[in-house]
Every structure is written in structure tokens, then in C-alpha cells.
Structure 1
Amino acid sequence: MVKKETPINIRRLLPVLIPIAVLAAIIIFIALPLPEDFLSLADNAVVIYDRHGKPFTEFTPGITGLCTPLTREQIPDEFIDLLMYSEDRSFYAHCGIDAKAIARAFAANVRAFSVVQGASTIPQQYVKRRLNIRRNNIVTKVFEMLMAVRLTAYSKKSDVLTAYCNSVRMGNNASGIGRAARMYFRKEIRNCSLFEFAVLTAVIREPGISDPWHHPERAEAKAKAILSRYAKAGRIGGELYSNAMNASVTRYTAERLFNAEHFSLSVFAAAKKTAGGSVNAIYTTLDPEMQAIAVDTVRDRIAHLAKKHHIHDASVLILDNRTLEVRALVGSPDFDSPEGEINGVFMKRQPGSSMKPFVYATAFENRVITPASILPDTERSFPSTVGKYLPRNYDERFHGPVRAALALGSSYNIPAVWLLNTTGLRAVYDRLHALHFDSINRAPEHYGLGLALGNADVSLMELTRAYAVFANSGMYRDTSMIRSITASSGKTILPPERVSTRVFSRETSFLITHILAEFKYKAAGFGIHSALNMPFPVAVKTGTSKDYRDNTIAGYTHNYTIGVWAGNFSGRSMDALPAAQGAGLIFRDIIAGMYNAGIDIGRADMTPPDGITPVRICTLSGMRAKPECRENIVEYFYADTVSGVLCTWHSNGRVTMPAEYATWLSDTGRADEAEPATALRIVRPCEKDVFSIDAAINGRTQEIELAAACERKKIEWYINGNRYAEGKTVYWRLAPGDVTIEARSDDGQKDTVHITVVRR
């Protein structure tokens, strides 16, 4: 009898096979040789120069910032002993990871119910820095530990220690203890005292908050705490210990250094891509003085805003309008903080009302309105893909009839939404694409009319670059951070030539600049004590996103355009803080800092170009002023839009506004100022208006408002003779052709307008 073979049950073997496979994978991984340059920190340094040709940082594998590489023989043994006692006491005994330290840290953290103690060895710390491991989770930690074992297996401990000492971040754009000793103590590392060794060790642990320039008291306290533990362990004593504990931090004046880590990382990556290989030097557009002003301002303001309003992060971009070169870029307040490596300049967030100028500019350019046109700021709804959209102003008030210039300057929401709806979503969307808002990459109806209020995620780079178009009379040009690159072969490589294109006319750009720079247009919305009230003309606009997650401000003078974002990288809301009181303070301080430093910022250009005509208008009606108009100002118009019609709102010593504002006037206790509406009149659309249908947009959202003024409550609407709807205000979906719109009241009155609808 033949005995049947029993099939192998793979599932039963899995508990054995999986651990074997994992162990085999770990062994193979550790057995793989390291890259040849993993510890070669002093080779192939890439020097980065500022716009004046002065080096401000360098990149070496594993190092960011200025560095003075040392050999093991140049590093004092006394410092090594202190460092290892503080950071890795079993350095010469473990295999790259310290099992006992891991157990101690685990027990301490469990007892405290929080992370109070770490167990990373010097090889682990080096691996994390060398490979730029940013996230802390179980996967990255295991990988870090395996790499540390691999590093220890293939390298001499002395080489690992030397590489660590040369690469460790020491604050203030410095890496390595050699550079730190020169910077903080004005001496070579071999000439430093035991106390100074302890200070350097403290900086290694907390480079952002224990450096002896900006935090001398903390640096001294941390250093003496390290020395105290060192003495209790019996490593030092007597006069040496006494002298060290009696020493204090010498308060050398901090050099006017600037941190430009985010800028450096960006140009380094771009240069490698452009050169197609290794690079020796990068000559950039960065201005050291402007960068220092921006960095100092962000740190000072965020320190204050964090305490009062829970704002912990901010970013700044400064562009030179004459060349569109980046003069300063601050990605975060502190690169060494947990989220500090995030570059907020390229992060996509909602810009809020700082998008409104592009809606108004498109409307000006298309002759939909002038700065003196009256826009309705009354309660109203607009069509959207999810029903009716009811925008509200920041102050939760309605302001009635508002001139366009005042509505933009004071950042009223309802007029902006009304204007986008009237101008056309597609028209504004196309203009934003011409401005290279590449982040706005979904169909127009996805954003809807909320686009006027900044509901689309864009980067600070995109926003600031777009504002520079107004400063440059309507011409768009891409930004640049690199002037030239020296490849390893010695060849000089120039970046691609940047081409200028026109997005807005000179006249439109002037009108926007005029409105954004004149504080008289902002006073109603922001108050006379606002940070936006500058001592000289600066065209500026703020934006605050929904739920107060983002503060944005962008503005320009003749020579520079500046963008600022403030908020939290985590997305946490701020304490109901508007941009004028958050990012606006950073913007104002940077402008003031540049001005006080003698930088020629050039005031916003307020000289009207040819094609712009000044006209004295009534501030209430926006029409040409007449003697009865007590409040009047000079406003600017396109020459071809100047009207000779005198104000009709002031007559016989009284004010009479159009009937469409009757409800608002009644709510504000001024019902007698409303025009008698006994006669039925269509107020929107107007006779001979032309509307267009865009095939790329969902037809359900392409509607126009039909509005009538009349005391009668019942109004019926007819489209081309067919009954359509009932109500004083309704919406009609556009259909191509010549259209007759008729309104009929219940007492037999009629009014008719004729419009044309075309396909695009």
C-alpha cells in the first residue's frame, strides 16, 4: 500500500517563516556596504554666495550651514569625554544602538506618561541628520537604528565621532563645533575652556534656544547643569570644576548673521537640476541685509503673537520689482524647531481677501466697472452648485451702496462676490491662470464665487509674484533665485532667460495701486490706527482665511513686493485674529526695517499714466460732483469711461438713493432717502448688457440676477414672453441669443430690458 504524502500547510508555517524572512532581510540590509561618501563630510562642498558675491553658507553631505571641518586630532579629548557623557556614554561599547539606554528611556517615559527621555546614540543622530530624516515614527526609528548598526559595522568609531562633530547643527546658520567655537567664543576649539565645552554641548542639545548669543542665561544654566552631573559621576573635580562653575558666558555682540536655510535648500535643489550633475558654487540673488531684517522681524513678532494669539509660524518673501529676483525668503521662524523645516513660502494655504484685487482688476480691465462705480453691499444670495450662496462681511454689517474703490480698500466681501458674479467666473479664472496661479488647477465651478474671497489654496510665492505684476505696470515675469552656477567641471551655467508677458494694462495696474496705497479707502474697514496706515504710500492688501487659520498680506512699493503669511503649520486656528493685526504687523515692521536701514524701497508709484483721467466725483453716488455734493473727491477713470452725468442723488437739499436700497435704508433708519418706487423698474441687468456662456463651466452655475425696484410685493418675470418666476430678485440661467426680459407688477406696470447672451 502506497502511503499518501501529506501536503505542507503553509499557513501553519507562517509564524516561523515570517520572523526568519524579516531577520534575513535585516541581516542583508546591515551587510550591504555604505555609500563611499557617507562619512566624507569635507569633500565636494557647494558654496552658496549672496547677490554681492559673498559666501553665506555651504552644503556638504550631511551638513547645512557654514562649517569649519576638523580632523579627529584637532578635537580636544576633554570635549569628546564631555560630549559622550552627555550624549552617548556607551559609544565605544555598543553596536550603534544602546539597548540599556532604550530600556531606561522606555521606563522613564511610561512612568511620566510622556516623552521625557530619549535613547538615540551618536551614530543614530548622525544617520538622522545625514539622511535628513524628518519624521519620528516607528518605521523611521527602526530604519535609523538599522542604519546606525550598519554605520558602526563598517566604520571606525573615531571617524563616526569626527563626522558627528563636524555636522551637528549649532544654531545661527552654523554646523560643527569648529565653526561654533569661532562664532560664539572668537577662538579655535583647541583653545576653549571646559566651561565653553559644556556650552557647546548644551547648544548641540538645543541649538535653537541655548545658543550663547541670543539666550546666554539659558546656555549658561544648561552648561552648568551638564558640568554638575559630570562632576557627580566623578569625571572632574577640584579647581578645574570650581573654575568652570564660576565662569560665565562672554557676551560677544552677535554677528549680523542671517538664517537662509529654506532659500539655500531651494537653490541647491534647483542648481543640481539645472546643472544636471554636481555643483561647486551657486551665485544667488539673496540680499543679506534684507534677509536679516526679515528673519529678525519674523522671530520677534512670532514670539509675541505666540503668547497672545497662538500664532507659531510665519513666512516672508521679498521680491525686487526691477528684476523679479528673490531678495529674502523666510520659510519658518526657526528651522531647528520640530516643524521648522517646512517652507511656508511654497506651502499652499487659503489667501482670503488678498485675492480680491485680481477680481477688481479684471473688472476694470474689461470695463465692467470704474473705481467710482456703485456696488451693492446689501443682503443677497448668489447661485452656486450646492444651492444659494449668502456671503457676509467681516463686520457682519451691510454698507449699502459702496464705491468700488472703497469696497476694495475696506475689503467688503459682498461687493467682491457680486462683482465676480457680474464680471464672470471664467474671466477672472483665466486671468488668474495668466498670473501663473498654477495651484488653482481645478475647474472654475469647483471654486465658485468663493474664489473672490480666497477659497482656493495658493502659495505665498504665487501670491507675491502676482502682486508684483501691479508694481510692474501689468507685466508678468517669473521669479529667480539663481544668477549663475559653477559646475564641478568649472563651466559657468546661466539660468534660462525669463520672458515678460502682459496680464493687465498700465491703466488697470495704476488704478489698483492707487486704491491699495491710499489709506482713505481702507479707513472705513480697518480704522485709522491700523498697521496698514503707513507713513508713505505702500499698496497693500490683507486676507484672513475661514476659521482664522491663515493670515496673509501682500503689498508693494515701487522697488519691492513683499508677501507675508502667518498662522500654524499644523492648521490650528488662531484666536480670531485678522491679518491686519497678525501678518500685517510683520509686513509693517519689515517695510520700516528696510526704510530705516537706508534701503531704497521706492514709494508706490502714484503717477497716473496716459489714458487715465482725474474727475471730481460725489463720494456717495460716484457720479460727477455738483455744488450740492458736500463730500467729494478726485477719482481716476479710464479716459474712455468718463461720464458727463452729474450726481442725481443730491437734489433740492435732500438725498435720494435708488429704490433697490430701500430695505437697507429702512433698516438703518433712513427710509426717507429711498427713491419712491411707485414705478416698476428693472435695476439688473441693464439695457443692452452682453453676457457670455463658457462651455468649460457647469451650466447650472452660469446664472445672472434679475432684480426690480418697486413698492409692489408681487413681481412676475417673463423671458422672451414666457412666464419664468416670481419675486423682486430671481436668478435666470443663461441661454444664448437675444433675450427680452420683462418684469410685471400686480397692478399692471411693466419694464423691459434687452440683453445678448453669446457662447465663448
Structure 2
Amino acid sequence: MIILFRLIKFIIVVSLFVLISATILIGGVYFYFAHDLPSLKSIDDYKQPIVSEVFSDDGTKIGEFWIQRRIPVKYNEIPKLVINAFLASEDARFFEHKGVDIRGIVRAFYENLKAGHIVQGGSTITQQITRSMFLSRERSYKRKIKEAILATRIDRTLSKEEILEIYMNDVFLGNRAYGIKAAAENYFHKDLKDLTLAEATMLAGLTQSPSVDNPLVNPKNAKERQRYVLNRMAELGFISKKEADAAYNEPLTVYVASLDKEFNARYAPYFTEEVRRILLEKYGDKVVYEGGLKIYTTVDLSKNLAAETALRHGLEDLDHRRNGYRGPIGHISEDEIPSFLAEVDREARLEEGVLSIQISATNKEKASTPTSTPLHKNRYWRAVVTGFGEDGTSIKVAVGYTNGVIDKDGYRWAATYIKGRPSSAFSKGDIILVEPTDKEGIFKLAQVPKPQGAIFSLEPKTGFVRAMVGGFDFRLSEFNRATQALRQPGSSFKPIIYAAALDKGYNYSTHILDAPVSYKVGDEIWTPKNYGGGYAGDTTFESDLVYSRNVPTVKIVESIGTHYLTAYARKMGLTNQFYKYLSMALGANSVYLSEMTTAFSTFANYGVLPKPVMIKKVVYSNGKVIEEYTPPPPPMSPEEAFEYAKSVDLKAGELNSALYDANKEWIKKDGLKLSDEEIKILYGRVIPDGYVITPQTAYLMLGLMRGVVERGTGTRVKALGRPVAGKTGTSNDEADTWFIGFVPQLAAGVWVGNDTRTPLGSGEQGGRTAAPIFLEYMKEATKDMPPLDFEKIGGLKPSMLAELSGGSAVYYTGASKPASAAWFGVSRDVRNRGVDFFEEESGF
């Protein structure tokens, strides 16, 4: 008995020792693996990259920014059908286990052994979340133990519905889709709620190996996985066997997803890319590409399309008349034509987001029947010449799987190349560029122009940017010439000069002698010339801007001073580098089109410089507004400002402190030497708060710039048929041509030139090259706007204008004589340095 008692005692002691040791060991192992594991205490802790979306002014989605295309969806927004498909595929006992399913592991082992390959995974949905979000995919017991511990923790912390919501938003399903909602859009072009049983089970079958089982890559594998999911759903009672068979036999159209950049190229690509650049600078990559931002912008898609079309037409016309047709871009043999047509068709379908394949149970992979190719207008397409019309006057072409012809009207512009019948200039198999017309099956012969161009358009009163086109074709060049290119403005810079001069005592009637003049620049002599040569003799300030005379403008700049002029340009919003030479008069300093157009809007706005606005609101994925444009308090009206100026005590010498403070840094940075008088002219108290120049100065400039259109260098724009003001510009050697102008409701600037800065050709001027583009754009952009006239300021009567100076001229004492009082002689043996001055003295 004693021996038995001792034996029992020994067994108990040993058992307790083993139990305690095991507990300590298990606890130690648990602590070892669990002490540094992350936590997921609430569903709000779940943060995965979400696609950011960009919207136009009317709410149309025009862009996406993403690294992972994920569109979050709430659990209650996921159809039961979709949930059941994924549970059947991945974790049928999801609502029963506690994060790890031993029975599921055994079942998966048996099913895989029976199939001879992996058809089921042993990991639960909760384990898959831990692996995806917190752990690596390293194949080791250490990772598996951590995965199990973390899965049980999550199962205790979150509800089953919350876990499923995370999973359905996290799972990668191939075809650039993260999460079920993005997958529905990418694969089927459908909203999640509209998926059929066949589509849902096709997606659920992708979870194990989205690359290998992708229906776009391996439709046979995809159908096998779909069959497995359908059978499991039937076994589990989610659907009937009949429903499973019907879904399996349902033909599916599966689409190839495009990149964010490909999507962004469809609507307003230069604008969207500029928005991306602005946001990246403000918030960084992580917020922009992963933050799920909703970005609401100011772009007007109809105006942007009008700008794209006008610029395209203008560049085409210029290229046609200067360069002619340069011939086919390639040639292929008859055997190569089928593959070429398929390549063009794929390119077109991918661009439109409709590239797809058809999948069925009996025909595992079948390309969409190529009856025709979707061809976007306002776009060039590669085509192959397939023959010629019976009468020999038309060219037969194939553009992908769309057949058509180029008739006489479509190739008339290339007459100098064709010289007779098209068959003498082209051969079957030639690769050419064509553009679709409004008539089905009729194309135009095309070629990519050598010149480039840009348009920037905004509302003067609001600053809202309504259109931005930075080049001929975003697909060929993403460089935005509207906001990134520094180009010489030529005479389009003159309105800033003349505004500055008005504020230094000049008026419409000031006489200036247009006669030869020379200036010593270093060791050289510079002799400015008028465009086309010749001199007009005794002229007036008004006529010199209207007819864009160079020599009188140089004299004005010499009179008012380059430092003062630089300061004036700065307060008009120009940020480019300024070389303070007299060649400023002729636009030798390179500027940005966007800033020049905004500066001109100041005149339309009676002295208020608008701040360009592209982004109205940015909302974070959680609904928090992180940025919203709030219009500044409206300044006093031009009428009130005109009356206000009369009450200012000039002797006090007070400044508009806000305007002066905003420009002090520029004065320092540019090393400007300004007299006290010039400081008062530039920033004096007579300029009301919110203004950069007085309404009086702006009103006088309106009159001058309307004269440019009515009887000067911009008369082509008169065809707009409504009150319009503007200025042409042509840089040295016709390398840059400009037209910037405005109606009361809308301003636009146009630049045309070669990226290489080579001349466009003799006779290509702002009035001939850029103004027609402005005209075409404004006709379309303003067609629904009433033809408003510019508002008159009551205190300024027409009879006063000829002798009236700018509003800030009240500070001008007349210490420096106007240029009209000076005479500059010319030595006959002095070499003309007009061209060299730009290149050597201005750094261009």
C-alpha cells in the first residue's frame, strides 16, 4: 500500500513537473514568437493602398493615380453570391473556426493528394490576411507559427464580417486588381453588385495563383479553377448543381486592364498630369498614390477638347504649308499585314479600355471577333495601304480591322508629294498615318507635325483653369509646354511694358520718334529694328502698341528703366529669370505661357491678378477634406477703386503693404535698384487691396489691346464677333509665335514653336500662326457665353482717355523725360547687332 501510494505520488509529481515544464515551454515559445507581432485592434487599423481619383468640373472621372489599384468596399456592399464564392474557394468553415482550421488543413492535404497537385490551400482567410498584411511569404515553420498566433488574435479582436471586409479589399486577383471591387471593374467592366455567378466564381478561383490562373493568360486554368469553385458551392449548398453547370457554360468576356497613365490619357492628359505634379509636391508619393484621394478640379472637358482640336488644326496647317508631306513611315510585306493589323487593333482597344478575350466551356480561348477597330477621333492611327480605288483617285487603307479610303479631300494637302495619282506615290504595304473623319470609313492622310504648341485658358475673375494642352499629343510627348517650357514671348511682352509706362506718366498721345537708334552694350553696339524693317517717324504711344513697333518700345524701356520694368513684371506674376537689358523690350527673356496668360487676365480683371486654380477640393479616403479652395474676399469694385484712389493722401507716401510685402523678396533676389518714387508707383496706396495695378491702368490697357485686334497685328481675331482684346508676339527669327487674349469671361494664351528653338520659317508671326488657333478655340469655348462688352468705369470718359496716364502715375514727378524727347543718332559704319544681342547678351 505504501509502495502504491509512493508510486501514485511519484506519478503526480512527475505529471505536474511535465505539465508545468510544458506550460513554461509553450509559454516561452509563444512569447518568443508573439512578443513582436503587430496588432490589428480595429478595422480602422487596416490601411492598404487605395486608388486616388481625379474628377473634372462636371464630375466626370478623368484620372487615376495608383500603385495598387484598390477600390475599398464595405462588407454590406458585397453581394452574398460573391462572399459565398470566396468562402467556397478559400475557407468554407470561416464562420466556425477561431482563425486557424485544423480540419481545413487535413481536408486540403487530402484533396491535394487526390488531385495530384494543389487545388486547396490550408490557410484560413484570417491567416491569409496576416500573411499579406504583416508577414512575409517566407516558407518556414517560424512564419507559420507567427501566422497562426496572429490569426487567432485577429479572430478574437475583430468580427467575422470585419475580417471578410479586410480580405475582400486586400486580396490580389491579377490584371492590376487588388480587392474584389477593382477586379470586377478590371476584368468585366462591371460594378461589384452586377457580377453574375459565372463572373464571381471566375474571380474567386484566382486567389491561389492570380498570375498562373489569370483568364487573360491561361483561360484553361481559369476555367478549371472556376469549375472547382462552382462544385464547392454546390457541395456546400450555396447553389444547385444545375446552377453550377449553367454558370460554367456561360460565355465570359474578360477585359485587359489599363495602367493609370493609359486611363489618364483619354480625357485631359496634360491637365491631369499637372494636377498629379502639384499634389506630389504638396503631399508626397504615399498620399497621392495610396491615399484614396478624391480630387475635384476645374477643368472643363468641352473647353479642353476645343483647345486640343484647335491646337491640332493649327499645327497641322503650319506643318503642311512649311514642310509638306514627308512620305510613308514604313513598309511591310503582304505576309506581315495580318500581324500589323492585329497590333493596331490591340493598341486601339487597350487605349479605349475594351481589349478583351471571350472564354467559354467549349472554346477555352477565343479572340473577340475582329469586325472593326474602335478608332478615337482627334488621334492619328497607323494604317497600311491595301490598294487604290477603281478610278485611281482614292487610297484604300486598313486601320486595324477597320477598312476605309482616303479620298481627294483627305490627301489634297500633300499634292506636292503625290503629284498626280496616289498610286504613283504610294505602294501596297506602305505604312502611313491617318485620321478618322466624321464620315464612316473615310480617313485623312496625316503626319506628326514638326512644330509644337500649347494652350492655357482660365477665367479672369475666378482664376479657374478651364483648359490646358501642353503639346500636340500627350502620347508622343508628356512635356507640358504650357507650364514647363520657357520661351521668348517676343512682342507679347509689350503690354506689360506699356502698362508700366502708363504708370510712369505716358499716355495714348505721347509722341515717340520711330527712327534708327543704337545703344552701346558692353563693347558692342546694338541697333534694334522693327519687324520687316522701316520706320514710321513721329508716332504715338497708342499706335506703337497697336502696330507692335519695336524701336519706340525700346525707347520706352530705356526711359522707364529695366529695374523698374522687372519689378512691374514680378507683381504681374512672372517668375522666370529676368536679364535686365534693353532687349527686354522685344521679349528676350523667356517666360511661361501659363504665367503670361494669367498676367494678361489682370487687364481683363481691371487690375486684380487672378491666382490660377486647378484643384477645388481634395478629400481623403476617410472623408476628411485635406484641401479646399476658398475664394479670397472680393476686393472693392473697379468703380469703387477708382473713387478710392482720389481719397488717398499722396503726401503720406503710404504703400499697399500686402502688395509690397509680396514683392520684397523679388526685389532682393533680382537685385533691383528702385528709387523711392518707383517704389510708390509700383506699390503705392492708390493701388487698392487685392489689386496689383490700378483699375485706371488696366482700363487704359484694355483700350490699347482692343486696338490690337480691331486694327493692328491681331485683326484675324476680329472674326470672333464679340469684344476681345489681346496681343501678338513673335520672337527673334520666328522661333516663337504667340497670341494671348481675352473676352470678359475667359482668357487664353497660345504658343507655337519648335522644341529645338529653330525658326518656324519666314513670315510665321503671332498674327498668322498663333492667332488662328486662339480664334478657333475661343469660338468653340465661348459659343454658349453671352457676348459681353468690357465694363466701363464711370469716372473715365472716352474724351479723357487720350491724355490720361495710369492710376499710379500720380506718384510720378516727371523727373525723367519721356523717350519722345530724346534723339539717338546712328553711325553708318556701326555693325548691326540686333540678332547677336539676343544670343550673346541675353543668354539665348
Normalised by the size of structure 1, how large is the TM-score?
0.49
Higher RCO (Cα < 8 Å, 6 or more apart): 2
Q: Which has the greater radius of gyration? A: 2
**Which structure has the highest helix share of the two?**
2
Normalised by the size of structure 2, how large is the TM-score?
0.45
